[in-house]
Amino acid sequence: DTEVTQTPKHLVMGMTNKKSLKCEQHMGHRAMYWYKQKAKKPPELMFVYSYEKLSINESVPSRFSPECPNSSLLNLHLHALQPEDSALYLCASSRQGASREETQYFGPGTRLLVL
Amino acid sequence: KNEVEQSPQNLTAQEGEFITINCSYSVGISALHWLQQHPGGGIVSLFMLSSGKKKHGRLIATINIQEKHSSLHITASHPRDSAVYICAVHNPAGATNKLIFGTGTLLAVQP
């Protein structure tokens, strides 16, 4: 299994809703990432988990809450989002937790629309 | 000014043409990636390189560390190559495995 899967593919939510995005990989990778990508822009890093511990938080608002329950699974909990949070949310993984210069394997993304 | 610049921003080619996309960076790097993103979202890593040249099928990536420049070449281009191509670099002065992305090159290959 050499892929990163993300669910759901599409999500529409109101500003008062609570929802979660899910990311899964079974490649034995020990680093997992959340990115946010707005239209026609490159991905922006949000969070990095290394060996199931949060190692980078790029000053992301607290309405985004990441969780890494185990080495294969990464969640992003969403609460009280704003319309400007509408974007493509990409998950990625790489083999070693603290290593640099590694290929990141991306999932297909969840396209989120906040109304 | 972005730390990673790509040119051109948009490129239209006819099927069969040889294509070059350029990437210049202003920071020290330990490695450079070329990524491909098709409409609909998913990103695929094409190459990671820190020196010289790599080839995979019709794709060739080169890097000149002294000039802080990399190129992605596509030979015998095909409409299925239409995508956004993104250059991204690892900055060893930065955080663990954090990539600095270029703004992307939108390639359209017409039949």
Q: Which of B33, B42, B98 sits opposite A56 (nearest CB)?
A: B98
CB contact under 8 A, A108 and B96: no
Chain A residues in contact with B90 by the CB 8 A cut-off are 100-101
- How distant, in Å, are the alpha carbons of A31, A33, B46, B69 from that of A103? 11, 12, 9, 20
Model confidence band, residue B99 (pLDDT cutoffs 50, 70, 90): confident
pLDDT of residue A2: 64
Residue B66, chain A, CB below 8 Å: the answer is no
Measured CA to CA, the distance from residue A104 to residue A98 in angstroms comes to: 13
Q: What does the pLDDT read at residue B81?
A: 96
pLDDT at residue A32, as a whole number: 94
**Which tokens belong to A61?**
């608002």
**Residue A88: closest C-alpha in chain B:** B41
Q: Do B33 and A99 touch (CB under 8 A)?
A: no
A-chain CB neighbours of B107 within 8 Å are none
Residues of B in contact with A100 (CB under 8 A): 30-31, 90, 92, 96-97
pLDDT tens for B29-46 read 989 999 999 987 789 999
Q: In whole angstroms, what is the distance from residue A68 CA to residue A56 CA?
A: 13
Question: How does the average pLDDT of chain A come out, rounded?
Answer: 92
Encode pLDDT of A68-96 as tens digits: 999 999 999 999 999 999 999 999 999 98
